[in-house]
Structure 1
Amino acid sequence: MTSTEYKNLSVKEFTKAAEIYESDHAGVYNMCKKDYPDILAELEKEPFNDLLDCGCGTAPMLTLLHQKYPDKHYTGIDLTPKMIEVAKAKKMENVELVVGDCENLPFAENSFDAVICSESFHHYPNPQDFFNSVYRVLRLNGRFILRDMTMNSAAVRWFCNHIEMPLAHLIGKGDVRIYGRVDIKKLCDNAGLHLESFEKRDFCRLHAVIRKSRA
Structure 2
Amino acid sequence: MTIKEFTKAADVYESDQAGIYEICKDDYPYIAAELDKEEYHDLLDCGCGTGPMISLLHEMDSKKHYTGLDITPRMIEVAKAKNLSGVDWVVGDCEDLPFEENSFDVIICSNSFHHYPNPQNFFYSVKRVLRPNGRLILQDYTAPSIVLWFMNHTEMPISNLFGHGDVKAYSLNEIKAFCEKAGLSIDNLEACKKFRMHLVARKKCNS
Same fold (TM over 0.5): yes
Q: Which residue of 1 aligns with 2:127?
A: 135
Within a 5 Å distance, the mapping from 1:135-174 to structure 2 comes to 135-151=127-143, 153-174=144-165
- RMSD of aligned residue pairs (Cα, Å): 0.7
Residues in 2 aligned to 1:202 and 1:182: alpha-carbon distance in whole angstroms = 18
Amino acid at match of 1:42: E
Q: CA deviation at 1:102?
A: 0.4
- Partner in structure 1 of residue 193 of structure 2: 202
CA drift at 1:207:
0.7
Give the stretch that moved more between structures: 192-201 or 109-118: 192-201
Following superposition, the deviation at residue 210 of structure 1 comes to 0.5
- Alignment partners' CA distance in 1, 2:203 and 2:61: 23
Q: Show the counterpart of 2:5.
A: 13
- In the alignment, structure 2 segments of 5+ residues that lack a partner are none
Q: Which runs of 4+ in 1 moved over 6 A?
A: none
1:191 maps to which of 172, 175, 182: 182
| Aligned-pair identity (%) | 60
Map 1:49-88 onto structure 2 (within 5 A): 49-88=41-80
Show CA shifts across 1:82-106 (max 9, x none).
Answer: 0000000000011000000000000
* Deviation of 1:15 (Å): 0.3
Aligned length: 206
2 CA distance for matches of 1:173 and 1:22? 18
Most deviating of 191-200 and 43-52: 191-200
Q: Which runs of 5+ in 1 are unaligned?
A: 1-8
Amino acid at match of 2:182: A
Distance, in Å, in 2 between the alignment partners of 1:135 and 1:159 is: 31
Normalised by the size of structure 1, how large is the TM-score? 0.94
TM-score, reference length from structure 2: 0.98
Deviation, 1:199, is: 1.4
Deviation at 1:174, TM superposition (A): 0.4
Residue 159 of structure 1 and its aligned partner are, at CA, apart by 1.4
The CA deviation string for residues 130-160 of structure 1, in whole angstroms up to 9 with x for no partner, is: 0000000000000000001110x11211111
Q: How many Å separate the matches in 2 of 1:211 and 1:14?
A: 29
Residue 56 of structure 1 deviates from its aligned partner by 0.2
Q: Which residue of 2 aligns with 1:4?
A: none
